Structure 1
């Protein structure tokens, strides 16, 4: 039996999940393959899963304010970041900032995302990583590497990266990080991970040994936890 989990989906909260899913589908070229009243799922060209969960009382982040933190953001690779940013703005995004090789925008629900220049990507966009804010990037990378059976591919002063199985997670060092306190709407999670496992009891034992905290939610098919930086995630059969 496999104890470590497999990264299933990255899920962002939003009050209008159909509109947000359509925004990302139009921007990236990814396909919407599941629509339910409280859940919409997209698949990337590489088979990664991005989903949107209905949160009627969603309080959007106000990046870069530490009082209303983003908690997580997407890093998207594109050839021609300026044109991609202009297209995103035309679809309802807001331009926030830019760096040497990336442009930061907010999607229609307020979640920041980066379009990052990458030669050879070709048409459309690629999901490079989902990045979580934390006051301990090294520690959070080791936590998810152990939980998912992934490798720590980079660990530096600005953050850390784990990779494996066609997925990447990044952890951005934010010294004044204010963790979510799910389900308190005043301190929203903004995003969470669904991790697929073979056995909930064995996987819970591993998660708590690595530093996770069980949260009061779930049923016979899934359980909810907070990682060592407070970000909720689900272990799902």
Structure 2
């Protein structure tokens, strides 16, 4: 985990038009209620949707973190690539020690500590980082960070999808700017998900809202996405160039 800013080696430039807007960061979980409750308490968020197979928490800074029921969920085992995390959520906090203590009280497990951030796992084993930002107003979401073989390449793809400029790109880390930053970090021996193969399960995916599924599909395929099995009246499933599943949703 690094802490890139828009003043880094790549200056924020003109954003592409984009295909859609980021709606939610979605975690696969075996228990919707406990996982949603953990993230609501951790971020100070509130329940925005509660269905039998899907819960959503909206944070005070207007991020949506969603939870998709996966009864046979195989949790990541951090670090390493045998059962990789694939992605994690970075959170800003004004006091690392206090935020870490609170997270552990809620059921999190500390995995690694240093002076600027602490890596923990939630109740379903998903990793997240608490990152020190003294001026932060409580716990705020920095954004999701995706593991990949080439951060620059994947940032370029998602810049085209979300219409956000690449605000930082150096030392194996890239970040999209805008009001919903998405980050990418290059990882050695990266082991991608192979959804829907349960032997290589996904852990996290993004929902991207589009006005038209047919037009959205054509656009993301042209950018380098692959079509995956799975669709409904309001969504279709794809993989990005690093194998991360994502959904286009109405």
TM bin (shorter chain):
over 0.9
Contact 1:3–1:203 (Cα < 8 Å) also in 2:
no
Contact 2:40–2:59 (Cα < 8 Å) also in 1:
no
Q: Which runs of 5 or more structure 2 residues have no equivalent in the other structure? A: 1-16
Contact 2:43–2:60 (Cα < 8 Å) also in 1:
no
C-alpha deviation, 1:99, in angstroms? 2.7
Which residue in 2 is equivalent to 1:53? 68
Q: Write 1 or 2 for the structure with the bigger share of strand.
A: 1
| Residue 178 of structure 1 pairs with residue 175 of structure 2 | no
C-alpha deviation, 1:20, in angstroms? 0.6
Of 32, 36, 53, 1:21 maps to 36
Which residue in 1 is equivalent to 2:4? none
Of 70, 75, 80, 2:90 maps to 75
Q: Work out the number of aligned pairs and report it.
A: 234
Which residue in 2 is equivalent to 1:107? 122
Contact 2:18–2:159 (Cα < 8 Å) also in 1:
no
Distance 1:221 1:54 in 2: 18
Of 180, 190, 211, 1:198 maps to 211
Q: Which runs of 5 or more structure 1 residues have no equivalent in the other structure? A: none
| Residue 98 of structure 1 pairs with residue 100 of structure 2 | no
Of 80, 88, 105, 1:65 maps to 80
Distance 1:77 1:206 in 2: 33
C-alpha deviation, 1:3, in angstroms? 6.2
Q: 4+ residue stretches of structure 1 with deviation over 2 A?
A: none
Contact 1:3–1:199 (Cα < 8 Å) also in 2:
no
Of 167, 170, 174, 2:180 maps to 167
Contact 2:18–2:163 (Cα < 8 Å) also in 1:
no
Of 158, 169, 177, 1:155 maps to 169
Cα deviation, 1:193-215, whole Å, max 9, x if unaligned, reads 10000111111111111110000
Of 99, 109, 122, 1:84 maps to 99
- Aligned to 2:50, the other structure's residue is in SS state strand
Contact 1:94–1:107 (Cα < 8 Å) also in 2:
yes
Which residue in 1 is equivalent to 2:140? 126
C-alpha deviation, 1:75, in angstroms? 0.2
Which residue in 2 is equivalent to 1:212? 225
- Aligned to 2:55, the other structure's residue is in SS state strand
C-alpha deviation, 1:171, in angstroms? 0.4
- Aligned to 2:182, the other structure's residue is in SS state strand
- Name the Cα RMSD after superposition: 1.1
